[in-house]
Structure 1
Amino acid sequence: MVEYEYRQIVFPRGTSRSVTRQALTDHAEYGRWELARVRVYRDGTRKVTVRRRIIRQVRTL
């Protein structure tokens, strides 16, 4: 079974799309995060949920 670790990133109202895109690109490139969900609220706040796979090592004897 695949397990994921989740993180929420909140971008305030005045944040431009290019700054948001660059921040998410950095998370994906360096932290191995992938986009799971984006919510845009009425006040302009963006709440982004990213996830990455948890890799568990299996002990061998």
Structure 2
Amino acid sequence: MPVGWEKVVSEDLSEDYEWVPLRLPPDVTRLNASTRLSIEAEYRGWELTRVRLYTDGSRRVLLRRRKTVADRSDTAERPAQ
């Protein structure tokens, strides 16, 4: 993860979000990258936080989404036995 992005993640003291850094290789076009990220946003709840384009054509992307109530608690909800 790029240095400036670590600061963004570490400053989120609320712990309401989970973060995922992605690397998109140079052969992924801008249209394909946009489609892929739109699918992540629509069906998995991720939102785009940062994008960095490198000279070799690769991209680094930082996604975040709100944690669910189950993710925030230490104990996961279990079905009744």
Given candidates 20, 35, 55, the residue that maps to 2:68 is 55
Amino acid at match of 1:24: L
Match of 2:59 in 1: 46
Cα shift at 1:38: 0.3
TM-score by length of structure 1 reads 0.82
Structure with the bigger percentage of helix: 2
Q: Structure 1 segments of 4 or more deviating over 3 A? A: none
Work out which structure has the larger RCO, using CA pairs closer than 8 Å and 6 or more positions apart in sequence. Answer: 1
Question: What is the CA RMSD across the aligned residues, in angstroms?
Answer: 1.7
Q: Point out the structure with max Rg over C-alpha.
A: 2
Structure 2 residue aligned with 1:37: 50
Write the distance in 1 (CA, Å) between the matches of 2:15 and 2:69.
10
Q: Which runs of 5+ in 1 are unaligned?
A: none
Gaps of 5+ in 2: 1-13, 74-81
- TM-score (structure 2 length as normaliser): 0.63
Query: How many percent of aligned residue pairs carry the same amino acid?
Result: 38
Residues 1:28 and 2:41 aligned together: yes
